[in-house]
Structure 1
Amino acid sequence: GKIQTLIEEHRSTLIFVNTRYMAERITFQLSEALGEGAIACHHGSLSKQKRLEAEDKLKKGEIKAIVATASLELGIDIGTIDLVCQISSPRSIAGFVQRVGRSGHALGLKPKARIIALTRDELIECMALLRSYREGLVDTIEIPEQPVDILAQHIVSYVSSEDRSPQDVFETFRRSKPYNNLEMKTLEQILGWLSEGLASSSRRGAYLHWDKVNDALRARRNARLSVVTSGGAIPEMNLYRVMQESDMSMVGTVDEEFAIESTKGDIFLLGNHSWQIAGLKGDVLLVKDLHGAPPTIPFWKGEAGGRTYELSGEVSRIRAEADVILSEQSEPDLDGDKDGRIWSGYLNPLEEWISKEFSISPEDARQAAEFLGAQKMALGVLPHQTRIVYERFFDETGGMQL
């Protein structure tokens, strides 16, 4: 429909989505409409080789569009992009600005983007994004104060390179802004964990020797290897590798639960390509190329990000302003409103304000006004950050739910 038309009207289109599941689903649907060779998929669960192939095809003009998650948001050269489409709200103002900026890179061109909301509630959030973008509001980057896990990793790294004293460690890390207020008592507690382990019954998690007599720290045998292989604060994901049975080449990764629940012979989609499961060997899902067969779409857990505080504030601001506009109107009597004129008259001031304030189409303004107006009629108020509404109802068994 709409996305297909936008792709056909432009030379190259970059379509951003928020999840890998959505990337696979939209790529599959667009391939059926535009032809298999017209579009590619790009996300973090595809192998590096598959991602590079998709990027190269877009640069050379071999495909008209690419559907991607945040994997194409930063630092990757994909050539000139005419249009960026954002499916659903990206849940952050900074993310939206970064994604829009992927288009119009050539001299004299301007970035060009379209946001496509999938629900009316999401439409309000997209309106908040547009106003934030226009007003120059961005998300605040908060620097954590004394994150203990990061400090522990850096202490192990620092001591692994050379024997140190606790005082040397203390003075060194106090020079870093997040640890300016670090106390010696806190450092000694962390050194205790790193030298004695987290559990009193075992030395598991012990990476340092702490000689309290000579006031010296030195690395244990496993410390240096742990620093090189296990640094960072990104949590480990339970992912299974997907590999072709014929040549053991890497295709990508899937969620552990999806791999275990699937059975031999099942066909699934990965990278806009159908694969048949040949078997499970350890943490490797062996597959066969089954080009063109109707597939299911795999799932990945915990991949949808939360909305930022600043964007939430802007959504709340819209609701508060809409509440004021609707409160100035007389409450409509809808019982005798057979042709909808009373309801339309009630919404008109809000609809006009939305069209003017957010520069969106009359159809979108109407949908947003109807959504907010219906909520106002049902509850009497519109909830926002300073007004919380608790809703109580009874389920099918008669139990009260809040």
Structure 2
Amino acid sequence: MNTGLDELNPVLVHHIVNTLGWRSLRPLQAEAIRPLMAGNDAVLLAPTAGGKTEAACFPLLSAMEQHKWTGLSVIYVCPIKALLNNLLPRLESYTSWLGRRVALWHGDTTQAARQRILRDPPDILLTTPESLEAMLVSVKVEQQHLFASLRTIVVDEVHAFAGDDRGWHLLAVLERLTNVAGREIQRVGLSATVGNPHDLLRWLQGSSRGSRAAEVIAPEVVAAPAPPVATVDIEMDYVGSVFNAATVISTLHRGEKRLVFCDSRQLVEELGAALRDLNVTTFLSHASLSVDERRRAELAFAEARDCVIVSTSTLELGIDVGDLDRVIQINAPSSVASFLQRLGRTGRRPGTTRNCLFLAIQRHEVPWTAALLLLWSRGFVEPVTAPPQPRHIVAQQLLALALQENRIGSRLWAEGWNGLAPFDHSATPILKYLVENGFLDQDGELLFIGPAAEQKFGRRHFMDMTAVFTAPPQFTVLHGRREIGRTDPALLTEKVDGPRLLLLAGRSWKVGWIDWKRRRCFVEEAEHGGKARWHTPGTGAASFELTRAVREVLLGADPPVKLTRRALSALSDEREEAEAHVHPGGTLVTRSSTDVRWWTWAGYRANATLASTLSELTDEKQRVDDVSIRLRTDLTREMWRAATSDAVARLVLPDVDERALTGLKFNEALPRHLAMATLASRLADLEGAQRTLEEPIRFNVVERR
């Protein structure tokens, strides 16, 4: 029997068998050995807890011994610090078996620990893209010494990077690391199930795509074999309120460990407080809680049994919180891929099944939850695609390279990213703008950081340039010396009658003193009545596929899962209300008093594209949502035919409110028209708009005379 162990280093195999007690590797782990030890780029695919970390690390540790690598050989990148913290003890064990070392470097790492790494680099470094950027631009880091021996980059949860601007930033940083190391660097991505794994691999390869094909076997996607069809226990209920959701959770599955996912921090806080009021042992986890608060909660939850932890997506990405009995989802996550990650947290113990209970809090969420489950039942998983036109990241990278090298050549700067688009010569207009507006100064053929960059981004040694996402301003909440977390400043400024009460970490707090200058808020414990709120711009846009599935549900399609009587009743009510807005034969235009709407069921981005393209037909306020577009009140069929006859051939990008630029970091380093064009391209869904225009349309409108 082929156990997959024969190809690994013998010492490593000894510990895998005797220390871990494994008699063989999982199929994914065995299949990954050959390509990874050969130096191939690869993406390893498996569900949550599918053994991806070991599938990457065991072959790389064996290659490290076989080729006698010294110094910092492997960088292991994760999207969140908590995942790095969780991985450290495991990798410390694996590396110690071979006399190797691993170290951790992220935003919470002490200066003393960083200095130890710089003096004596480990064999493997766990870090984030933001920390890698900080190392590259820091005057305290000798980059040539630290990265001279680098051979491999492992990117954990690579799909989480590829779908947003952190992915572009990561790719650019990898290209610069390649130049510092002076060699091609093997790239290994670890991912949950995605709809387009080969595209994801090509994206991860960056400029090295195909450049090593003559030297090694072609890059590979290594996927865990599909498991045998197993029982999956999925149930959907409608509960109507946060309190009712807490009541159901407190009553069902007593004695079990339950993980509840919510898609907002406010909902996490409200549900956590409601569960505690019902005497349920409850822990919370979300990004606005302090590091210590989250760690305490996750540790206590991992060691407890009869308890609940309520979390945002922070616990979706593989952090070990022990054996779970149940996953509960409040409303529906934004994607099938996210649901698969969450479902994968259960069913890990022998004799258990994967399960998820959906609790819809509002009635209109019922068809959206059913639609997501309908897509899941068909095997649909969203493709991961990089956001288009990352011009602001290009501007950031030009400034970062100037910081890293002290000066860059006005003709040779594109070599910094090895010709990878969009960091190649196509970025010349952005470079020109940076020079003309003082972000870069020029002396002959050399460019270096200018006064505008110093003024805008130079605080704390340019640390603001290391992250490509904009964090909204928040106030740190302190109880004595203990940091509880952070809250939205709006809760500290809105008018209130009586004491100002906050809800944070599932408890109510009375605000005492506010330090406006240092953004600190000092609180005392309160019995109840606290409020939670965070401003999260740019959320809530449903995809074309999900919105079309909602239309199918409203037309009668049911997902093949258990639906409670309450869910069935709510779904029936939603279908009855939607009868005038959905039709199996195409889209609808309806009039209700002065409200004329086109029910496209195309998703927000496609609708925004259609509203901009057909601006002569839309309401002047262009009210657009996921399912409809508001049209002018004097619309006639003749006007419609004239406007739409050639619309497919002249689709345009959506209009963008200039206020949205505040969410595009580094937009100040771009010409205004390019910054607006970047936002518009990201708001557009040209394919969805075209598909909608090509469908039949029915007019349920009594035209005015």
Shorter-chain TM-score range = 0.7 to 0.9
Separation in structure 1 between the aligned mates of residue 361 and residue 428 of structure 2, nearest angstrom: 52
TM-score, normalised to structure 1, is 0.76
1:215 paired residue among 436, 439, 445: 445
Equivalent residue letter for 2:449: A
Aligned to 1:335: none
Number of residue pairs matched by the alignment: 343
Separation in structure 2 between the aligned mates of residue 360 and residue 147 of structure 1, nearest angstrom: 43
1:258 aligns with 2:491: yes
1:354 aligns with 2:558: yes
1:240 paired residue among 455, 468, 475: 475
Q: CA RMSD in A?
A: 3.0
1:3-402 equivalence runs, <5 A: 3-8=249-254, 10-35=255-280, 38-61=281-304, 64-107=307-350, 109-162=352-405, 163-173=407-417, 175-176=419-420, 178-179=421-422, 184=425, 186-197=426-437, 203=438, 206=439, 208-211=440-443, 214-220=444-450, 222=454, 227-244=462-479, 246-247=480-481, 249-261=482-494, 265-282=499-516, 283-291=518-526, 293-302=527-536, 304-319=539-554, 322=555, 350=556, 354=558, 357-361=560-564, 363-376=566-579, 379=580, 381-382=581-582, 386-393=586-593
* Closer, same or farther: CA 99–389 of 1 in aligned 2, 3 Å: farther
User: Could you tell me how far 1:189 is from its partner in structure 2?
Assistant: 1.8
Separation in structure 1 between the aligned mates of residue 585 and residue 414 of structure 2, nearest angstrom: 42
* Closer, same or farther: CA 360–175 of 1 in aligned 2, 3 Å: farther
Separation in structure 2 between the aligned mates of residue 73 and residue 391 of structure 1, nearest angstrom: 43
Give per-residue Cα distances to partners, 1:247-266, cap 9 Å, x unaligned: 3x321111111122267842
Q: For structure 2, which runs of at least 5 residues remain unmatched after alignment?
A: 1-246, 596-630, 634-705
Identity %: 22
Contact 1:173 1:179 survives alignment (8 Å): no
User: Could you tell me how far 1:286 is from its partner in structure 2?
Assistant: 2.9
* Closer, same or farther: CA 392–235 of 1 in aligned 2, 3 Å: farther
User: Could you tell me how far 1:384 is from its partner in structure 2?
Assistant: 8.1
Contact 1:40 1:63 survives alignment (8 Å): no
* Closer, same or farther: CA 50–130 of 1 in aligned 2, 3 Å: same
User: Could you tell me how far 1:57 is from its partner in structure 2?
Assistant: 1.0
Aligned to 1:341: none
Contact 1:241 1:250 survives alignment (8 Å): yes
Q: For structure 1, which runs of at least 5 residues remain unmatched after alignment?
A: 198-202, 323-349
Separation in structure 2 between the aligned mates of residue 386 and residue 144 of structure 1, nearest angstrom: 30
User: Could you tell me how far 1:308 is from its partner in structure 2?
Assistant: 3.1
* Closer, same or farther: CA 236–195 of 1 in aligned 2, 3 Å: farther
Contact 1:372 1:382 survives alignment (8 Å): no
Contact 1:275 1:287 survives alignment (8 Å): no
Equivalent residue letter for 1:149: H
1:2 aligns with 2:248: yes
Secondary structure class of the residue paired with 1:277: strand
* Closer, same or farther: CA 140–227 of 1 in aligned 2, 3 Å: farther
User: Could you tell me how far 1:174 is from its partner in structure 2?
Assistant: 6.2
Equivalent residue letter for 1:289: E
* Closer, same or farther: CA 220–107 of 1 in aligned 2, 3 Å: farther
User: Could you tell me how far 1:360 is from its partner in structure 2?
Assistant: 3.0
Equivalent residue letter for 2:290: S
Looking at both structures, which has the greater relative contact order when contacts are Cα pairs under 8 Å and sequence separation is at least 6?
A: 1
TM-score, normalised to structure 2, is 0.45
Aligned to 1:329: none
